[in-house]
Amino acid sequence: MNNADLLEAREVLVSLQQSAQYSMRNAEIAANLALNEQSAHTTLT
């Protein structure tokens, strides 16, 4: 592989990592919001 190919592959991997981080953050936010709402599965005190 030449340097251009390696750079392109690195950019793809960095983008995938960022997407995964955003997805995890969104999941954390969704979980926190769900915990803030009363439901049959949770009790707020």
Digit-by-digit pLDDT tens for the chain (45 residues) are 899 999 999 999 999 999 999 999 999 998 888 877 766 665 655
pTM score over 0.75: no
pLDDT (0 to 100) of residue 34:
81
How far lies 27's CA from each of 4, 34, 43, in Å? Answer: 35, 10, 21
pLDDT (0 to 100) of residue 35:
78
Coil/strand/helix, residue 18 = helix
